Amino acid sequence: MTDKSKLSRRRFLQAAGSTLVAGVPALAVAQHEPAPDESTAQTPPSLARLLRKADLPAPKGPRVVIVGGGWSGLSMAKYLKLQNPAFDVVLIDRQPAFLSFPLSNAWLADQVDLEFLSHSFFEAARHHDYRFLQATVLGFDREARKVYSDAGILDYDYLVLAPGIEYDYARIGVEDPVEQQTLYHRYPGGFYSSSELLTIKRKIHEFKRGTFLLNVPNGDYRCSAAPYERACVMAAMFKKHNVRAKILLLDMNSDITIMKDAFSRAFHDLYADIIDYLPSSMISNVDVAGRSVETEFDEYSFDDAIIYPPIRASRLLEEAGIVNPSSPQKTADTDPFRYNLVGDEHVYITGDSRSQPFSKGGHTANSEAQYVAEVIAGHALGREVVWRSPQTMCFSTMDIDPLRAMSHITYYRYDEASKDFAFDRIHSVDNWDVTGGQASLAWAEGLFQDMFYE
Amino acid sequence: MFRHPRRFRFLAGLFALVLCPRLYAADPVRMVLEFQPDRDNGRQVYATCARCHLPEAWGNHDGTYPQLAGQHVNVLLKQLLDIRTGKRRNPSMRPFVQERTVGGYQNLVDVVSYITDLPMDPAHNRGPWPEATPEYAKGKTLYLDNCSGCHGASGEGNNEKSYPRLQGQHYSYTYRQAIAAKRGLRKVNLGMLAVVNRLSEEELKFALNYVSRIPVPKKDLAPNPGWRNPDFK
């Protein structure tokens, strides 16, 4: 398969099942179909759309395809156009609309409404002069610089992969894929898709009495403070509505991973009769039907639960064969300063599927994207760009009615001695108050404004 | 830390649109407001700013955030108002400087009075070329010829005219801002625009390298880079 231009529909479909095309992963949809027979070589109509060109105007400049319309992809699309207006930018996401996970814990307790969190990809694309394509990306061919999606094929000059995370249920002992799906549907973690959040809100509002189990995953999970914050928000709701509930918070880490004193204080002072915090609780199995969780030494039964398993980078990277085998979260080998895949200056990986150890969260992704957009524009235009650190600004809702929050900002630096990134400055404002609550809203409003409207 | 309360004024240009069918536009009406700064209130207002800008207001060395400490009050005020109205594009900061969040002019005056008195970072980010290099010498000439008219011979700026103090500002920040202005990503006044357009990117680097190496008066500096603002302990 050396001459890509001669790749016919038929041959592509055949190849799709056997990963014959260099760099193109097996199309999941094709895998389950019987291999097309040479004699009856008819493309199934439902697959034909995979093989045509996506419905996009011919690019007027170098095309950048961004996979993933989260905080990283949205910020990237905007700043790429600012840094180089000649870029033809296409942002792809499989969701029809954006729902913010940051601030969603405040929404669980009705401190902000759904309109505050939800925004249209069309608005972002219209205000920042790029294209939005609602599609699922199936794979890409780095040699031919093509992206395959269920809305057709796109050529690219630069590819930005910002597909985010997936849950890694195997790391809490749930290995069987069907069992994983059952667990996902019954007790979603609320860090991956918007349906999870909507389910979680109903669960909390409908909870009458008993034990509500939450957990904190280990590893570099998305949004360090959020699982602790969620326990506080739920406790505040149960308190307000006089629900006789216990929150069992199983932390897979040996201690609170962020703003330890403040969260300890909240668990102790505000929610002592509701939250039971249990550190070093390594979950080793979940019994969905029996509603219980096993750890190394104990078993905990629950009436309802939010199970947040450890996370890994999107499978898109693994399927493309670019994952570093020694990476526990299945990230790729990228240049730590320039974010490109090692050996390929046309493919960049940002956001929560990045390889660098920065805290995973919306603000990290937004500030990082502003820099990486300069790197990519710099590559296209022959400009030199000096590395700068992303920041992680993080707010935690600690109490409701009125909304009270604390904040924590992290700057990073590169440590020459250890040859790795390290924390530079950290500044915590850990006395949660109304000013902090208002600041958390201003923070989110400003970043929505940045990504969608201005 | 408490100094004499400083009296200062700033101008609010109000454009009165007279709704008279025979007039297309009206002359701008200039209103002078005077405030007595309350530094203690300023410290409380700054608590919200410090969540991102950090208690010392030193910014960071890679220039994502500027050093605010020691900057002129009118410069800080102008930036706050420009960001509030959208004249200076900064969507992520904009909600923080609205009247509904930070408060009215009095609070703005108080917070800038607090910030201007903060001791500056004694180890701010400097450009790559030390004294006695040809780039430094070139930068000196370029700076004196093109920049010093407004920003002052030693980068001291001008409070009355709201020209920023460049002395002590991170090189990484001034360079990024100059480039942003040159590429049309940041709006600046016509004088400034003429300069960034006239000089090449390399010349801007040299000039800003020079200004980043102008010593800051010792009285304006914190005793050491490890100094932490005791107001936020």
Pairing relation of β-strands A283-287 and A275-278?
Answer: unpaired
For residue range A238-271, list pLDDT tens digits in order.
Answer: 999 999 999 999 999 999 999 999 999 999 999 9
pLDDT averaged per 10 residues in sequence order, chain B, 233 residues = 49 43 68 93 97 96 96 97 96 97 97 98 98 98 98 97 97 97 94 97 98 98 97 90
Stretch A29-56: mean pLDDT: 66
CB contact under 8 A, A386 and B64: no
Amino acid symbol at A198: L
DSSP string spanning B40-78? HHHHHHHHHHHHHH-TT----TTSSS---TT--HHHHHH
Q: How far is B20 from chain A (nearest CA, A)?
A: 33
Best probe of the A interface among B51, B62, B126, by most A CBs < 10 A, is: B51
Q: Parallel, antiparallel, or unpaired for β A158-161 and A165-167? A: unpaired
Residue with tokens 């902000």, as numbered in its chain? A112
* Residue type (1 letter), B25: A
Query: First CA to last CA across chain B, in angstroms?
Result: 15
Distance CA A123, CA A449 (A): 11
Tokens at A109, concatenated: 């307790």
Query: Coil, helix or strand for A405?
Result: strand
Q: Is B148 on the interface with A (CB under 8 A)?
A: no
d(CA A326, CA A395): 33
The pLDDT value given to residue A197: 97
CA angle A429, A446, B119 (to 5 degrees): 45
Range A370-383 average pLDDT:
98
Q: What is the pLDDT of residues A89-145, one digit of tens each?
A: 999 999 999 999 999 999 999 999 999 999 999 999 999 999 999 999 999 999 999
Sign of the alpha-carbon torsion through A58, A63, A66, A72: negative
Tokens encoding A175 = 């290995």
- To the nearest whole angstrom, how far is the Cα of B196 from the nearest Cα of chain A? 17
Domain spanning B8-116: which CATH class is it, in words? mainly alpha
Q: Cβ–Cβ of A446/B96 closer than 8 Å?
A: yes
List residues bridging with A283 in a β-sheet. A295
Cα dist from B229 to A392, B57, B169, B216, B220, whole Å: 21, 9, 19, 19, 14
Q: Do B95 and A82 touch (CB under 8 A)?
A: no
CA A260 to mean position of chain CA atoms = 24
Assigned token pair, A443? 């923070």
Give the pLDDT score at A4.
Answer: 38
Helix (H) or strand (E) holding B201: helix B201-212
- And the tokens for A409? 């900002």
Q: Which residue, A396, A80, A429, A333, is CA-closest to B185?
A: A80
User: Is B51 near chain A, with CB under 8 Å?
Assistant: yes
d(CA B52, CA A392): 10
Whether the per-residue pLDDT at A401 is higher than 60: the answer is yes
Q: Is the pLDDT of residue A6 over 50?
A: no
pLDDT score recorded for residue A49: 81
Measured in angstroms, the CA of A325 and the nearest CA of chain B are apart by 33
Share of chain A above pLDDT 70, in %: 90
**Residue spans of alpha helices (H) in A111-176:** 114-117, 121-128
What b-and-e string marks burial along A48-75, b requiring 16 or more CB atoms within 10 Å of the CB?
Answer: ebbbeebebeebeebbbbbbbbbbbbbb
CA nearest B46 in A: which residue? A435
Do residues A337 and A387 make contact, with C-beta atoms less than 8 angstroms apart? yes
d(CA A293, CA A282): 10
Cβ distance of B92 and A450 shorter than 8 Å: yes
Any CB–CB contact under 8 A between B64 and chain A? yes
- Tokens 């360079």 -> residue: B175
Range(s) within chain B of domains with CATH label 1.10.760.10: 8-116, 134-215
Tell me: domain B134-215, CATH 1.10.760.10, correct?
yes
Reported ipTM: 0.88
Asked if A449 lies within 8 A of B185 by C-beta distance, the reply is no
Which domains are assigned to chain A?
Answer: 2-161+314-381 (3.50.50.60), 165-310 (3.50.50.60)
Q: Which two tokens stand for residue A403?
A: 């909304």
Q: What is the mean pLDDT of chain A?
A: 92
pTM for this prediction: 0.90
Contact A111, A440 (CB under 8 A): no
